[in-house]
């Protein structure tokens, strides 16, 4: 039964990987990422279902647009595959058993997905624009704070969770200041990653 769970999570990872590539392209341009139909960024032709199958469409189309024959960046298939592998490995590490559901593991899985989504989108956008995407970063911070509160409720004697939550709230305040130096945002993002890794690792301790 676990094989079914692993296969399912790999597929979810690949599908979300496809969404990440869309988000990385559209968010900096302030375009809708949920309702607007996918299109080729070169010829603007709207894509159909067969053009949007993660990994397979890229392979069958030879890494080119079906309509204008422009090359599709390898980043698309790389992010899709890496996302699938990341989701699969995380599910295996959590040892999720479909016959014995443990809510602490499910909570960790959900947070892990949100954390990974934030990191991959922010890093990919930074690679193209050399700046931290504040809206996505803040989303990840809020997810960390919520999970931190959840961990505190489970372990009321561990007060460092509150300290971490306050630190994350300060990050949101600093992000709201438009003149904040980009290097400071990068440092905050690295701290965000370390806190996220710590939160995830708790379940394995």
Given a cut of 70, whether residue 205 has pLDDT beyond it is no
Per-residue pLDDT averaged across 28-52, rounded?
Answer: 85
Output the CA torsion 144→145→150→155 (10° steps).
Answer: 100
How many beta carbons lie within 10 A of that of residue 99, not counting itself? 7
Q: Structure tokens of 148?
A: 């931190």
Burial of 38 (0-12, 13-18, 19+ CB in 10 A): middle
Given a cut of 80, whether residue 56 has pLDDT beyond it is yes
Given a cut of 90, whether residue 116 has pLDDT beyond it is yes
- Angstrom distances, CA of residue 1 to CA of 5, 53, 169: 7, 26, 41
Instruction: Tell me how far apart the alpha carbons of residues 99 and 85 are, in angstroms, rounded to a whole number.
Output: 23
Instruction: Tell me how far apart the alpha carbons of residues 48 and 57 are, in angstroms, rounded to a whole number.
Output: 11
Q: Structure tokens of 134?
A: 């504040």
Structural contact between residues 51 and 64, judged by C-beta atoms closer than 8 angstroms: no
Concatenate the DSSP letters of all residues of 21-86 into one string: HHHHHHGGGT--SSSSPPB-TTT-PBP-GGG-STTHHHHHTTTB-TTT-PBPPTHHHHHHHHHHHH
Instruction: Tell me how far apart the alpha carbons of residues 114 and 141 are, in angstroms, rounded to a whole number.
Output: 10
**Among 205, 192, 203, 6, which residue's Cα sits nearest to residue 114?**
192
Most confident of 34-48, 58-72, 130-144, 148-162: 130-144
Kindly report which listed range (85-89, 95-99, 124-128) carries the lowest average pLDDT score: 95-99
**Dihedrals φ, ψ of 64, to 5°?**
-130, 155
pTM: 0.88
Structural contact between residues 21 and 120, judged by C-beta atoms closer than 8 angstroms: no
Instruction: Tell me how far apart the alpha carbons of residues 86 and 146 are, in angstroms, rounded to a whole number.
Output: 22
Q: How confident is the model at residue 178 (pLDDT cuts 50, 70, 90)?
A: confident
């Amino acid at each position: 039964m676990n094989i079914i769970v692993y296969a399912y999570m790999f597929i979810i990872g690949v599908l979300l990987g496809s969404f990440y590539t869309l988000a990385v392209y559209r968010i900096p341009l302030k375009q809708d990422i949920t309702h607007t139909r996918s299109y080729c960024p070169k010829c603007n032709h709207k894509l159909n279902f067969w053009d949007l199958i993660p990994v397979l469409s890229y392979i069958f189309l030879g890494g080119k647009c079906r309509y204008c024959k422009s090359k599709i960046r390898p980043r698309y298939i790389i992010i899709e595959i890496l996302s699938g592998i990341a989701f699969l490995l995380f599910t295996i590490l959590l040892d999720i058993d479909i016959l014995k559901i443990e809510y602490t593991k499910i909570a960790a899985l959900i947070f892990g997905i949100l954390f990974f989504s934030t990191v991959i989108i922010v890093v990919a956008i930074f690679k193209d624009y050399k700046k931290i995407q504040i809206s996505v970063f803040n989303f990840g911070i809020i997810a960390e704070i919520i999970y931190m509160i959840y961990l505190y409720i489970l372990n009321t004697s561990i007060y460092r969770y509150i300290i971490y939550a306050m630190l994350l709230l300060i990050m949101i305040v600093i992000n709201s200041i438009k003149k904040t130096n980009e290097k400071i945002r990068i440092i905050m993002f690295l701290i965000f990653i370390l806190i996220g890794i710590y939160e995830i690792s708790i379940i394995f301790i």
